[in-house]
C-alpha cells in the first residue's frame, strides 16, 4: 500500500477512527492517499481540509475544471495513483459528449478543451513544471480567458494542492490496495 506503515480501518481507534469516518468513502473504505497519514492524525485532517478547500468548496471554477487540472498535473508529475482517481472523477462529472476529454488530458492531448479550459491547463502546466518563470502575462492570459481574480486564486490553490499530494503519493509509494474504494468515488 505504501513504503511506510499505515493503520487499517479495522485497527483505528479514538481520534484516527473518527478521522477515518470523516474522510472515508460512502462504502466505509478509506482511500490510501488519506490512509498514508494514519500515523499523524493532524496531518490527515490537514490534508483532507486542503483537498476539500481546493476541490469541493464553492468556487468560480467548476468541479469539472478542477478535476481537469488534477488530471493534467498528476500526468505531468507522473503520479499514476492521482491520475487514475481524478480521471475517473472527471469522467463522472463530464457530460457523455465530453468524457473523452478526461482520457485526452491523461494522455497529454488538449484538443477538445474550451479556450477557458486550455488557458487554465496551460497555466497549471507552467506553474507545475517551471514555477520560477511565472510572470504577470500568465495571469493576464487567464483574465483574457474569462477568469476573475477569485477564480485565479482558486486555480493556484488547486495547482498547489495537487503538486503537494502528488509528492506525498509518489514519495511514500502510495498504491491502490485491497479494500480501497473505487477510483474517483468520493466526495462527488
The pLDDT tens digits for 90-145 are 999 998 889 999 999 999 877 899 999 999 999 999 999 999 999 999 999 999 99
Tens digit of each residue's pLDDT (9 = 90 or more) over 30-85:
999 999 999 999 999 999 999 999 999 999 999 999 999 999 999 999 999 999 99
Residue 188 pLDDT level (bands cut at 50, 70, 90): very low
Domain at 63-172, CATH class: mainly alpha
Question: What pLDDT score was predicted for residue 28?
Answer: 83
Residue 25 pLDDT level (bands cut at 50, 70, 90): confident
Q: Are 128 and 77 in contact (CB under 8 A)?
A: yes
29: pLDDT strictly greater than 90: no
Instruction: Calculate mean pLDDT across residues 149-169.
Output: 98
Question: What pLDDT score was predicted for residue 118?
Answer: 96
Question: What pLDDT score was predicted for residue 180?
Answer: 64
Residue 187 pLDDT level (bands cut at 50, 70, 90): very low
2: pLDDT strictly greater than 70: yes
Cell numbers of 88, please? Answer: 475517473
Q: Hey, how many other C-beta atoms are within 10 angstroms of the C-beta on 171?
A: 12
Q: Hey, how many other C-beta atoms are within 10 angstroms of the C-beta on 102?
A: 23
Q: What is the DSSP letter of 57?
A: S
Domain range summary for the chain, segments of one domain joined by +: 63-172
Q: Write down the pTM of the prediction.
A: 0.92
Residue 65, judged by CB atoms within 10 A of its CB (0-12, 13-18, 19+), counts as buried
Give every CB contact of residue 54 below 8 A, 6+ residues apart in sequence. 66, 154, 157, 158, 160, 161, 162
Determine if residue 28 is left, alpha or beta; phi over 0 gives left, psi from -120 to 50 gives alpha, anything else beta.
Answer: left
- The CA distance from 39 to 103, in Å, is 35
Question: What pLDDT score was predicted for residue 185?
Answer: 53
177: pLDDT strictly greater than 90: no
Q: Tell the residue number behind the cell numbers 478542477, with chain if given.
A: 66
Amino acid at each position: 500500500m505504501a513504503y511506510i506503515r499505515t493503520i487499517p480501518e479495522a485497527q483505528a481507534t479514538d481520534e484516527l477512527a473518527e478521522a477515518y469516518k470523516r474522510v472515508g468513502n460512502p462504502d466505509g473504505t478509506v482511500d490510501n492517499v488519506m490512509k498514508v497519514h494514519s500515523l499523524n492524525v493532524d496531518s490527515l485532517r490537514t490534508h483532507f481540509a486542503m483537498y476539500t478547500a481546493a476541490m469541493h468548496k464553492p468556487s468560480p471554477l467548476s468541479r469539472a475544471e478542477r478535476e481537469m487540472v488534477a488530471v493534467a498535473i498528476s500526468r505531468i508529475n507522473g503520479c499514476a495513483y492521482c491520475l487514475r482517481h481524478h480521471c475517473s472523477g472527471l469522467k463522472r462529472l463530464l457530460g457523455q459528449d465530453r468524457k473523452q476529454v478526461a482520457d485526452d488530458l491523461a494522455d497529454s492531448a488538449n484538443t477538445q478543451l474550451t479556450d477557458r479550459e486550455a488557458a487554465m491547463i496551460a497555466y497549471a502546466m507552467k506553474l507545475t513544471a517551471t514555477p520560477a518563470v511565472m510572470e504577470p502575462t500568465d495571469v493576464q492570459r487567464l483574465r483574457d480567458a474569462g477568469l476573475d481574480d477569485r477564480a485565479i486564486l482558486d486555480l493556484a490553490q488547486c495547482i498547489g494542492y495537487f503538486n503537494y499530494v502528488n509528492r506525498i503519493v509518489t514519495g511514500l509509494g502510495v498504491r491502490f490496495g485491497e479494500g480501497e474504494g473505487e477510483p474517483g468515488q468520493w466526495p462527488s
